[in-house]
Chain A
Amino acid sequence: MDRYSARIPPSASIAEDVSYDALVESLRVYVLRAAFAHAADEHGWEQEELRRHGLRAVELFRNARAVWGDEAGFEGLRAEEARQGLSERFERQNELDPQLFHRLERDLRERFRLTGYLVEDLGEEMKVLFEEIEADARDRERDARDELLAELLGR
């Protein structure tokens, strides 16, 4: 069974050596935490990268091999490594699978849809999703404040 890792450089680790299902869930949790952090203006660099660039910001590894989405870049570096007799090492550490990104984007989007967030694409950016989560967070915050105020005033 394939094992996945997801990171946003230089320091965010979203998932390490987990199943595909756990990878999608870890991404969902990370997106939610990032959106809440953004709402409070306490977000980190990596969270902002995710908001701005969507899944493109995430480095994916499958079975400890870096997964590439860009075929031209992959073939270019593979050819360069082959020229230097380093093909074996390159193949051991890298693989090309643009479909993984599409699948991951589709599955992540579906999980958000099930929780009430309908967005068109999470591959290139997540600004719309962040905005919706942030708006909900603000509403809840306001409701909580009103509730607390009512409680303190004894009504």
Chain B
Amino acid sequence: MDALADDVYCGAFRSAGTEWTQTGRGPFVGSLQSIRVGSARVFRDRFSTGWQRSGRLKSGHLLVGTIADAATRARWFGVQATDGDVAVASGKLDASAVGAGELYSVLLDARTVSGGVPCVAAVDRVHDDAYLCRNPLAAGRLRTFLGTLFELGDRVPGLIKAPALQRRIQGALMSLLRGSGEGRRIVPNASLGGRFAAVQSCVAYMRAHIDEAISLRELCDLSGLRSRSLINAFDALTGVSPMAYLKAQRLNGVRRALMSTSADRGRIIDIALDWGFGHMGHFVADYRAMFGERPSQTPRAAQSRREPGRRAFSRDERTPYRPHSTGGSNDPSTTFHYAALLAMVEAFGN
């Protein structure tokens, strides 16, 4: 697997119009793999520490996802997801994770899917359509299907692109998505709806006053929540407290700025001051605790990833998963993989 540094990883989300913030401490290592299946794209997303992601999907697009293992601690619009849940959203998107983990997701344009996708055809009109469907069997089937797809895709590049197989994979995928809509639905409830709006208003205020001294009391006045309720709401939606979230936003802002400057012109102090850090000693310590490197190292590392001829990614030594050697089309193992994939698609398609 290729491991992505945080600038490359979060750049992928930003280019898709979603905000991505590292909220967990420690150097971030992630991977984001995708496979096109007809008009849908399936993703495998691995990460080494916590993050928060929010934004809006393109009109008509649907995102369906599940966590890859029970150890992954992820939240969907503030609701804790288990490995028996299938998460669905159209419109607004809000997800967070605490610690390392792995997710699978499918992004599809509902208008291009013939016959519709029942699992999202009648979603509740809450949060622009978002819910968790508690259906361990469906979640398990979806997870196994996507996991096998990526496993075989890693082993034999190009295998999944075969047109005949593509159609069958797409058919099986749609069948799985239809099945995933059956089960108990957990819709972020009215109480969470209020908390969601409160957190959103605080986040907007933080962004508008990012370099100013913001107090918890100000945020409470703004949101209309007591401090304990606001802290709980932030914890539910982002995995951290409001002020820790503010600090994370500021540190991420500095990091983005440092990554986009040249190593020779990365005026660290000016950038840190712009993001509201008044004491460089504390800023350097916080930055190092958050990202695992000194601010002065960031522009050079980012620049080395941008240099022509250099790979943007480096091998992730900390991830136990290792890709297998890839066989060519005449490799006997290719035939085996093709048969295995076909068998899997047939099994899930029924």
Contacts and interface: CB of A to CB of B under 8 A. Distances in A.
A110 interface: no
A80 B270 CA distance: 13
A81 interface: yes
A94 B277 CA distance: 14
A41 interface: yes
A67 B282 contact: no
A66 B296 contact: no
A86 B296 contact: no
A7 B277 CA distance: 12
B280 A11 contact: no
Interface string A104-148: 000000000000000000000000000000000000000000000
Contacts of B285: 70, 73
Nearest to B209: A10
Interface in B21-73: none
A89 B214 CA distance: 27
Interface stretch (B151-159, B188-196, B261-269, B302-310): B261-269
B246 interface: yes
Contacts of B246: 10
A67 B281 contact: yes
B267 A73 contact: no
A68 B276 contact: no
Contacts, number: 81
A30 interface: no
Contact of A76 (B214, B241, B267, B296): B296
Interface in B284-343: 284-285, 288, 294-296
Interface in A1-16: 7, 9-12
B267 A9 contact: no
Contacts of A10: 213-215, 243, 246-247, 276
B228 interface: yes
Secondary structure call for the B interface: helix
A45 B294 contact: no
B228 A77 contact: no
Given A77-B296, A80-B296, A81-B269, A44 B278 contact: no
Given A11-B214, A45-B216, A45-B243, A86 B280 contact: no
Interface string B247-275: 10000000000000000110111000000
Contacts of A61: 279
B281 A44 contact: no
A20 interface: no
B279 A70 contact: no
A69 to B, nearest CB: 7
A99 interface: no
A129 to B, nearest CB: 22
B111 interface: no
A73 B289 CA distance: 12
A59 to B, nearest CB: 4
Point out which of A44, A70, A77, A86 has the most chain B C-beta atoms below 10 A from its C-beta.
A77
A73 B284 contact: yes
A59 B294 contact: no
Contact of B268 (A41, A42, A59, A80): A80
Contacts of A80: 268, 296
A77 B243 CA distance: 26
A104 B217 CA distance: 29
B213 A11 contact: yes
A94 B218 CA distance: 30
A73 B228 contact: no
A77 B284 CA distance: 8
Contacts of A79: 296
A7 B284 CA distance: 16
Given A41-B228, A84-B264, A94 B281 contact: yes
Contacts of B294: 73, 76-77
A72 to B, nearest CB: 9
A123 to B, nearest CB: 14
Contact of B281 (A12, A41, A66, A84): A66
Given A9-B213, A44-B215, A59-B281, 13 more contacts: A10-B213, A10-B214, A10-B243, A10-B246, A44-B216, A45-B216, A68-B281, A70-B281, A73-B281, A73-B285, A77-B268, A77-B295, A84-B267
The 10 lowest CB-CB distance pairs between A and B, nearest first, are A68-B281, A59-B279, A11-B215, A45-B243, A11-B213, A80-B296, A73-B284, A66-B279, A45-B216, A10-B213
